[in-house]
């Protein structure tokens, strides 16, 4: 049943009779280990090397960055401060952060009740609502962007800011609703019923019983949404392009690259600075993200 | 008072059939309805304002001549005809999109499965390897693309530099129309982490007993993969196939070349910075946009599989399971 009971018999065998059979088995296992790990190591190298090259280039001098050298002759850490002092860079950083944080908070707050209703309430049209949520998820934003843009620009005069991207998130995000709903389905109805027996109102049941139980699901949704906002390029390009003060890092990086097309070292430093927050967030939230959520079973 | 939702709904229905108005049951039914509406309200507003309206407007405008100054003017199928017959970029864009969807998805699934399998076989340092394979996926698409434009740049890029060491003359990658799509594929295969995680979740679902049984029957590694892993993994694969990854924005950055114009970025091109406005695309022709969506319909589907894995990992309570499976009393679409 469990891994221990499964792996136990061969181990016992090995210790009991150390015949030639056991030795061959052992040798085969070692060879297998070497084969798997060397292939994995080689592949992992390919996945990591781009980061290494980007980093090495980011600390080169202007001249060396334009050569084919792979290793910096002298380390110019000042490239990073140059990037930071580029006009606009800190603004972009702040905008990205505002977009990602507000977007995440809004999405979670608005999607949890909807997901709860879809998962736990019984009402006419429940299935239809679910189908509509899923179809919203399938449609790419490109299809509806022009009418949306006209509304935001002409009715609300909000083009040139990130609000047209943030405000809709206060009204539920289909994908988050879907993920949360799937997660909430796993919470046994009995908990909710007993909360009601104890006199909890619907809202209190949600906040005191369901939300604490759904923490892993909420954490995953929040992270996905944070990454989505941080990485979003299409949205800021549509709504914020005309106002550099509203650019996000993703969008600003593009203009940075065009402005410093001969300074690969600076461009690479900026690139790393755009990547860094996401990767740092990942390392802090890894437990919730990969370990706790999707790969709990890896360790068997 | 302490009725569960199910029973209250049942009671409410019987009340609706027989009981006179304004009974407590009737009031309870109304209260239930308001409660559902209240919880759903964020999405109801969001759906109608940010989805249904613009979608209908897009279809509406696709039959109109509209320049944002004068009132829309009905022109029948003219916009659609323009897209299919005259727009010079439409054909190449469609072809490029199809090419990328077919090649990229196939390679991403193949590599995702391969690396997922490999990682499940690793015994030492699983966490380290998993992180190494996963991290590129996290790199923001724009940053990843800029990084690849540098790595693959023909004059000083490290990739061509290293190809030079072994005597190969590297291609021009993003600067060469015939190599730009393979370069994008390379970029998307680099960000394989999401598929790897999904495949791993599903591979680890395969009951160990089945491998043991295969061992006893003398199955080799390939047979085990073919007859145990593969069939088990199958239901998810169709779902995952749609998950395309990061190409969207990458296309825009990666440089010039008409071959790279994808349908998805056509209208983006027109809506973005003013320099791109000069492209031969008419602002009042949203028909192109309607088509733009087609290949992306499946974009986020991989997450269904993830949701499944997520639910599975957290152990479904049998009661919850039964409740979901139980046909609803009264039947029909409720």
Confidence tier at B12 by pLDDT (50, 70, 90): very low
Looking at residue B21, its pLDDT comes to 63
pLDDT per residue as tens digits for the range B271-299: 333 333 333 333 333 333 333 333 333 33
Q: Which pLDDT does position A179 carry in this prediction?
A: 83
**Mean pLDDT, range B146-153, rounded to an integer:** 89
- The residue ranges of chain A whose pLDDT is under 70 are 1-19, 287-300
Residue B303's nearest CA partner among A290, A176, A269 is: A176
**Nearest one of B157, B120, B119, B143 to B191, comparing CA atoms:** B143
Evaluate whether B149 touches B114 at the Cβ level (below 8 Å). Answer: no
The CA-to-CA distance between both ends of chain A, in Å, stands at 11
> Which class for A80: exposed (0-12), middle (13-18), buried (19 or more C-beta within 10 A)?
middle
| Triad B76, B78, B84: Cα angle to 5° | 130
What pLDDT is stored for residue B289 in this prediction? 38
Other Cβ atoms less than 10 A from the Cβ of A104: the count is: 23
Rg (C-alpha) for chain A, rounded Å, is: 26
Q: How far is CA B59 from CA A50, B55, B270, in A?
A: 43, 6, 19
Where does the pLDDT of residue B231 fall: very low under 50, low under 70, confident under 90, or very high at 90 and above? low
CB contact under 8 A, A48 and B135: yes
A293 with B310: Cβ contact below 8 A: yes
CA A197 to chain centre: 39
Specify the residue for token string 């800021």: A236
Read off the pLDDT of residues A90-143 as tens digits, 9 standing for 90 and up: 899 999 999 999 999 999 999 999 999 999 888 888 899 999 988 888 888 888
CB atoms within 10 A of CB B303: 21
d(CA B169, CA B152): 12
Q: Would you state the pLDDT for residue B20?
A: 57
- Contact call for residues A195 and A208 (beta carbons, < 8 A): yes
* Average pLDDT of the segment spanning B21-39: 85
CA B321 to chain centre: 27
Measured distance CA(B100)–CA(B254) in Å, rounded: 14
Say if the Cβ atoms of B303 and A121 lie within 8 Å. Answer: no
State yes or no: pLDDT of B123 exceeds 60.
yes
Confidence of residue B54 (pLDDT cuts 50, 70, 90): very high
**Structure letter (DSSP) for residue A153:** I
Chain A CB contacts of B9 under 8 Å are: 122-123
**pLDDT score at A247:** 92
Residue B155 and residue A68: Cα distance in Å, rounded? Answer: 8
**B289 → closest Cβ in A120, A142, A151:** A142
Beta-carbon pairs below 8 A across chains A and B: 325
> CA–CA separation, B103 vs B285, rounded Å?
30
| Res B280: pLDDT | 32
pLDDT band at B39 (very low <50, low <70, confident <90, very high): very high
- What's the pLDDT at B302? 41
Pair A123, A192: CB distance under 8 Å = no
The confidence score (pLDDT) of residue B246 equals 35
Chain B residues inside the 8 Å CB shell of A216: 310, 314
Best to test chain B binding among A28, A140, A141, A166 (most B CBs inside 10 Å): A140
Cα-Cα end-to-end distance for chain B = 23
Give the best residue of B4, B12, B13, B46 to mutate against chain A (max A CB count within 10 A). Answer: B46
**Mean predicted lDDT score pLDDT of chain B:** 68
């Amino acid at each position: 049943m469990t891994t221990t009971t499964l792996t136990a018999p061969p181990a016992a065998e090995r210790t009991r009779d150390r015949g030639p059979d056991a030795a061959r088995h052992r040798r085969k296992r070692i060879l297998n280990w070497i084969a798997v790990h060397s292939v994995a190591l080689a592949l992992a190298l390919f996945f990591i090397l781009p980061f290494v090259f980007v980093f090495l280039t980011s600390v080169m001098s202007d001249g060396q960055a334009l050569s084919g050298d792979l290793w910096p002759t002298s380390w110019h850490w000042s490239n990073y401060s140059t990037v930071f002092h580029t006009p606009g860079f800190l603004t972009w950083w702040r905008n990205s952060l505002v977009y990602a944080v507000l977007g995440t908070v809004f999405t979670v707050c608005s999607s949890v009740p909807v997901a709860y209703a879809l998962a736990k309430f019984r009402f006419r049209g429940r299935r239809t609502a679910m189908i509509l949520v899923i179809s919203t998820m399938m449609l790419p934003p490109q299809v509806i962007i022009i009418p949306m843009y006209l509304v935001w620009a002409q009715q609300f005069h909000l083009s040139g800011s990130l609000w047209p991207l943030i405000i809709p998130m206060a009204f539920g995000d289909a994908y988050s609703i879907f993920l949360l709903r799937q997660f909430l389905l796993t919470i046994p109805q009995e908990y909710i019923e007993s909360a009601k027996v104890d006199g909890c109102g619907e809202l209190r049941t949600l906040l005191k019983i369901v939300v604490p139980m759904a923490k892993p699901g909420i954490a995953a949704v929040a992270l996905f949404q944070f990454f989505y906002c941080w990485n979003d390029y299409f949205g800021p390009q549509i709504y914020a392009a005309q106002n550099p003060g509203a650019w996000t890092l993703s969008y600003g990086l593009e203009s940075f690259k065009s402005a410093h097309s001969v300074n690969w070292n600076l461009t690479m430093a900026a690139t790393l600075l755009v990547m860094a927050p996401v990767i740092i967030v990942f390392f802090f939230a890894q437990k919730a993200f990969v370990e706790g959520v999707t790969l709990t079973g890896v360790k068997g | 008072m302490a009725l569960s939702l199910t029973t209250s709904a049942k009671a409410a229905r019987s009340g609706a059939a027989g009981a006179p108005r304004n009974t407590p049951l009737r009031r309870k039914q109304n209260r239930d309805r308001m409660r559902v509406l209240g919880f759903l309200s964020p999405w109801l507003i969001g759906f109608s304002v940010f989805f249904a309206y613009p979608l209908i407007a897009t279809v509406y405008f696709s039959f109109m001549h509209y320049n944002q100054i004068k009132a829309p003017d009905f022109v029948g199928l003219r916009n659609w005809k323009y897209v299919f017959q005259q727009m010079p970029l439409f054909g190449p864009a469609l072809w490029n999109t199809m090419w990328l969807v077919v090649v990229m998805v196939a390679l991403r699934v193949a590599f995702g499965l391969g690396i997922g399998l490999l990682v499940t076989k690793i015994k030492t340092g699983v966490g380290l390897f998993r992180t190494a394979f996963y991290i590129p996926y996290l790199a923001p698409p724009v940053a990843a693309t800029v990084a690849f434009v540098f790595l693959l740049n023909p004059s000083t890029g490290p990739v061509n530099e290293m190809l030079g060491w072994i005597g190969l003359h590297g291609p021009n990658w993003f600067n060469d129309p015939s190599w730009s799509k393979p370069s994008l594929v390379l970029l998307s295969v680099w960000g394989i982490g999401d598929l790897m995680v999904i495949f791993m979740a599903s591979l680890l679902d395969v009951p160990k007993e089945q491998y043991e049984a295969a061992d006893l029957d003398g199955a080799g590694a390939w047979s085990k993969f073919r007859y145990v892993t593969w069939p088990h993994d199958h239901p998810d694969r169709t779902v995952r196939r749609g998950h395309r990854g990061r190409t969207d924005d990458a296309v825009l950055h990666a440089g010039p070349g008409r071959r790279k114009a994808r349908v998805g970025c056509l209208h983006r091109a027109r809506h973005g910075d003013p320099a791109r406005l000069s492209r031969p695309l008419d602002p009042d022709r949203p028909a192109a946009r309607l088509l733009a969506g087609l290949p992306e319909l499946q974009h986020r589907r991989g997450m269904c599989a993830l949701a499944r894995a997520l639910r599975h990992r957290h152990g479904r309570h049998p009661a919850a399971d039964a409740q979901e499976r139980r046909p609803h009393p009264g039947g029909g679409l409720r």
